Structure 1
């Protein structure tokens, strides 16, 4: 039932090949260089530090934040990753998750604050966030490959786009849920807009914001695994190798490693949200 023809595919390809790549390639190369240096620094740091030290630090953090049960699970999970020779791959995945989550929070939280305090900004960002969250995750890989090539950089870019909406939405929600009587009382005492935001709204909204950070990190982990299809290193590449070679054992080994990381990161960030 083609009543009319809309050449979206041709227009998109003409825009990309005729203007975006020739004109903006230098800009994207600069971003790629900076991100690659950031990712390599984090990855080399995690791999260089002895696994025993990282394991002890994770256990202590899990114990203090999430309790003894998660600390015990962290111990068992770290031992599992080491026993099946997945520690370096796990650290590569963690580095991609940490870098992309950091970028998502640095961009998402300020955007959430602006959306909560500016109705025009919320009107602009809401459909953009809807688009980012409803677009299939695999679609993010196409422009990431085109603009940044293969490897960790396009994985971080695709993960950043995929994982940022929860940070924006939860920050917006947290600030809007601050009781109006508290806000009115603060204004009655003569607080400025800056003081109201940093001393009243943000502290009260912090648990909701941390819940958004938790969601962002989980989405980043899921996308970091999918990004193995474009050459991203880590546990996702292990699972992808298992799929491509029909090696059930390898796929199961890598999949359990992803589950271990997901549970540890999820429980720790949930603990931070509860303590906020």
Structure 2
């Protein structure tokens, strides 16, 4: 397993001023989130603004996870705020999921896409650049389907590549920032600004999104397509490889792959209400 490279990040005056500014906004209780959600549904712009400002610290926390020395932290925060705004527009309070859990997916995606467009830590040959972009897209797609970080093996299998090649390219494109970083004047600790730890509502979110996915599959796919997708992405049981599933169904691995591709295309066309959690975009 390769070692991750830890990058110390120095925060400048503008970032310090911003972090102090957003600390003034109070966090919301679940009841307050639901009430704001109701008002947003009725078209209340002040409620939308309140929901956004109360979660600006979440954007900082996530931006730190993506930060690299050659891109200002505020640039990443700005991109994350765009994702936060989209999350506020799409949030459905009736799902009984904390907004921070829902918004985190939109924020990560916005920052990740911005990074892919703005930088590459190591200049790669054109072919490797193209392959790395495919790997990043596959990683995002699998993360949305599986509701977790995909393994290198899963990414490689989706792309029909060798695991070692995928791992090598991921390592070339990856830099990891330590959250054990203090603001350079020593007057503020980033943990004062960023709530730590995983959200306790994460499992509730995953369960609700899985139910949405199963409903979408049931309404969109025929029986064979459904069986392939359910087994390939472990939605109702263990995950099957192409080879295992082909033996189970009595067809070739290539036929299984073609069924999977066709099924995913159908799901993408119907995934409007499932949003970023499923196969949309």
Both structures adopt the same fold (TM-score exceeding 0.5): no
Q: TM-score, normalised by structure 1?
A: 0.31
Structure with the bigger percentage of helix: 1
Q: TM-score, normalised by structure 2?
A: 0.30
